[in-house]
Every structure is written in structure tokens, then in C-alpha cells.
Amino acid sequence: MQVTINLTPFLLSLALLASCTSAPKQPTVDESRKRPVNSAIAVELQVCTNDLQNARLAATETSRLAESTAATLSSLWARQHTLANMQAPMAQQPQANALYTVRFEFGSARVDIPPDTARALVDEAKSAPLVMLRGRTDGVIDSLAENRMARDRAAAVRDFLISAGVQPFRIRATHQAIGDHIADNSDPAGRALNRRVEIEIYRASPDFPTADASAR
């Protein structure tokens, strides 16, 4: 009698066992898409990224400096404005009058002024609203001669100023024969100081009393 053995399940088991014991295949890589880390494109991209970051940092710093500069300028402008407001009232205050004195020899009405003093005197007198002249002598007795000498000295200074370019309408002259001494008239040095013409230069128009005010 023949025996028939079914080997199909046995053969399938052997095939599966053989497949499990065989080595796995290595994975394949698409070399066409592989990009080396140090390729020119990668390096250039990194450089561009760094430049962009640096530009952003520089822009931020520039903006901060601009804001700081604007704040500083605003503060300086405020200080200058405050100083200008403080100085304005001082600038509006009238300056004190200038006083010059011209000395004369005994019995003389000749004007002799040092050049430097003359230039300063003329420059101020040209722009002054009023130049007041006061002729004086060293006389002790009120006489026509002393009165004439005081008047001639004031007139001589007036002529000097006009010839130097000072407009006549700016000048007023007065004179006094005796008295109004500024030094000891009994001493020769004192008398030399008393023989004079005082020149007062007004830097602001004086307010002279009117006839109505005098009457009141």
C-alpha cells in the first residue's frame, strides 16, 4: 500500500524560515537630491542670513540713536528758549548814560581830545537820541567874561561833534560861568579840573517835563 504525504505546509514553513534568516537589504538614497553642507549655495545662504540679521540690528540701533538725538535737541531748544525769555527783560532795560569830560587850558576854548577818546565819543554821539553839553569855568566871580568863556567852550565842543558827523539836532548845549566845581578851586590842579565841558550821551530819549506838568 502506498503512503501519500502532503508536504505543502512543511515547505511553506521552511520558505518562511529562510526568508526571516536572510539579511535585510540596504536602503537606497537619491543622490540627485543630496546637497553637501559646505556647498557654495549653502555658504552664500548663511552669509546672506547673517548680513540680514546685522542689518536689522544696525537699523534698530540707528532708530534708537535718532530718538535719543531728537530728545537731546528738544531739551537744548527748551533750555535756549528759557534763557532767551530770561534775558529779554534785561535787554529791554535802558543802559546808563555815558559821560565824557573835555579839559581846557586857562582862558582857552580850544578843544583837544585824545584820538581814541574822540573816536569813541563820536561813535556814541552819532546814534544817541540826545547829547547834552555843559560848559564850565574855574571862575569865582560871575562876570560877562566868565559867562562868555563857559558858553564858548560848550560851543567849541558842539562844533567839534558836528564836524565829526554828529547831527546838530541831537546836541543841546548849556553853560554856567561860576560854581558847579568838581575839585578844590583854590588849588591850581583843582582849577584845571574845573575848566571843562561835560558831555553826557543819552542812550535813551529823556522825558523832559512839559509846560503843563511844570504848571501843576
pTM of the entire structure? 0.54
Q: What is the pLDDT of residue 213?
A: 46
% the chain with pLDDT above 90: 41
Q: Are strands 196-202 and 130-139 parallel, antiparallel or unpaired?
A: antiparallel
Residue 144 has pLDDT above 70, yes or no: yes
For 54-62, the CB contacts below 8 A with 24+ separation are none
Using 50, 70 and 90 to split pLDDT, how confident is the model at 13? low
pLDDT digits (tens, 9 = 90+) for 46-101: 777 777 778 787 777 777 777 777 778 777 777 777 777 776 655 555 678 999 99
Helix (H) or strand (E) holding 202: strand 196-202
Q: Do the beta carbons of residue 199 and residue 132 sit within 8 Å?
A: yes
Using 50, 70 and 90 to split pLDDT, how confident is the model at 11? low
